[in-house]
Structure 1
Amino acid sequence: MNIKLVVVGKLKEKYFAAAIAEYCKRLSRFCKFSLVEVRDEKAPESLSLAEMEQVMVKEGERILDKVSDREYVFALAINGQQLTSEEFAQQIKDLTTYGHSDLTFIIGGSLGLAPAVLQRADAKLSFGKFTLPHQLMRVVLCEQIYRAFMINSNSPYHK
């Protein structure tokens, strides 16, 4: 099984990078895990609506360049489906049971995801209505993917 995170921007904080490295190590016993960073579009602080759309489109093109047709894609979106950890684990188990061995999770840039990326997604996933830094969201997502594997292997980690 292959799990890939496609994210916009570089991870700058060492403590987030250390946490992600730890989850990558833990996940290696369950899957081939990779993190793909695409360049964020440089933009001034205040943008018009048209400029915001242009930034999202450019970042979206970079994201979609890293996604193949065979991948099952989860887009992280505030209006996506909210799942419990157990439901998420079951969804991963069901996908792998029915032939989806390449799962990709997409975290957009600060402005969100382009419509083309949301259209390509097979599922939209939300971690609630809170606004979280995208770097922190990477850590949270890695932990939940790891937790899903632990739930599916009946490990006491989840308790």
Structure 2
Amino acid sequence: MIRITVVAVGKLKERFWADACAEYLKRLKAYAKVEVKEIADIDPAKAGGVDAARDREGSAVLAAIPEQSHAILLAIEGKERSSEGLARRLDSLALAGTSDLTFIVGGSDGVSDAVRTRANEQLSFGPITLPHNLARVVLLEQVYRAFKISRGEPYHK
């Protein structure tokens, strides 16, 4: 079974974000083993600036990525894929023997250069800026949709 880790900077503070993520995590259980690792966001004012906070968050993100995992960073400048394109990409990774994937959702100030370097590829949901809480929900929904597409199953809206 495919193993997916979602490494996300920041906690889901509002219940509606947590409920939306929980719903997609429940749906994904039929297709993959999914684990979410939340990384505490660092206050730049307490860390000595944005760069220092991003570096500290980055160290925690890197530590949370399983060693052999294929890491996919969510980034505006990443490759845009349709839902069908994401399904094809996940299928091609599986066909190549990659069964351990990590998706990285950065914090409000982005991610460190070290995290960008570790990422095997970058995925974009388009040129819009999404709050990291919403990006996490969209990611889980799109991964779920990709599994449904790959298996030719109907997707209930």
Output the TM-score relative to the length of structure 1: 0.93
Number of residue-to-residue matches in the alignment: 156
Are residues 1:62 and 2:60 paired? yes
What does residue 119 of structure 2 align with? 121
- C-alpha distance after superposition, 1:100-143 (max 9, x if no partner): 11100001111101010000000001111111111111100000
Query: What code does the residue aligned with 1:70 have?
Result: Q
Are residues 1:40 and 2:9 paired? no
Query: Could you tell me how far apart the structure 2 residues matched to 1:56 and 1:145 are?
Result: 26
Gaps in structure 2 of 5+ consecutive residues: none
What does residue 24 of structure 1 align with? 25
Query: Could you tell me how far apart the structure 1 residues matched to 2:51 and 2:123 are?
Result: 21
Are residues 1:3 and 2:1 paired? no
CA RMSD of aligned residues (A): 1.7
Query: Could you tell me how far apart the structure 2 residues matched to 1:69 and 1:38 are?
Result: 17
Are residues 1:133 and 2:131 paired? yes
Q: 1:54 Cα shift? A: 1.1
- Tell me if the contact between 1:151 and 1:158 (Cα under 8 Å) persists in the aligned partners: no
- C-alpha distance after superposition, 1:42-79 (max 9, x if no partner): 2239x9xx822111111000000011331000001111
Output the TM-score relative to the length of structure 2: 0.94
The partner residue of 1:86 within 84, 87, 91 is: 84
